[in-house]
A = this chain, B = another copy of it.
Amino acid sequence: MENLTEILKGILEGCVLEIISREETYGYEIVKKLNALGFEDIVEGTVYTIVFRLEKNKLVDIQKKSSEIGPPRKFYSLNEAGQKELSAFWSKWDFVSSKLTELRRNSHV
């Protein structure tokens, strides 16, 4: 799927929050997980700007751990504010999703 840039705005951050909520993880791994999900064109620069933003907004806790196969990793985990933000994201998603389904189905909009 090509050129998802615009439609992913506001959604990608939610995906990253969801991924982090599953288990403590780090930027590079998040990129790989998104790629595996099907968002193949997402690169490091994109994810890092997101995790930096999460950090700035105090939605994640950070723990630095060394790795045996490369530079040290910065592990992220959701704090309480992050959990709330994730819930809010899914609420918004469900709302928008239902409205789009409605728009698509009903000819009388």
Contact = CB atoms under 8 A, between A and B. Distances in A.
A92 interface: yes
B93 A7 contact: yes
A8 B11 contact: no
Contacts of A39: 99
Contacts of A9: 6-7, 9-10
A25 to B, nearest CB: 10
Main secondary structure, interface of A, reads helix
Interface in A36-83: 36-39
Contacts of A36: 109
A7 B109 CA distance: 21
A10 B15 contact: no
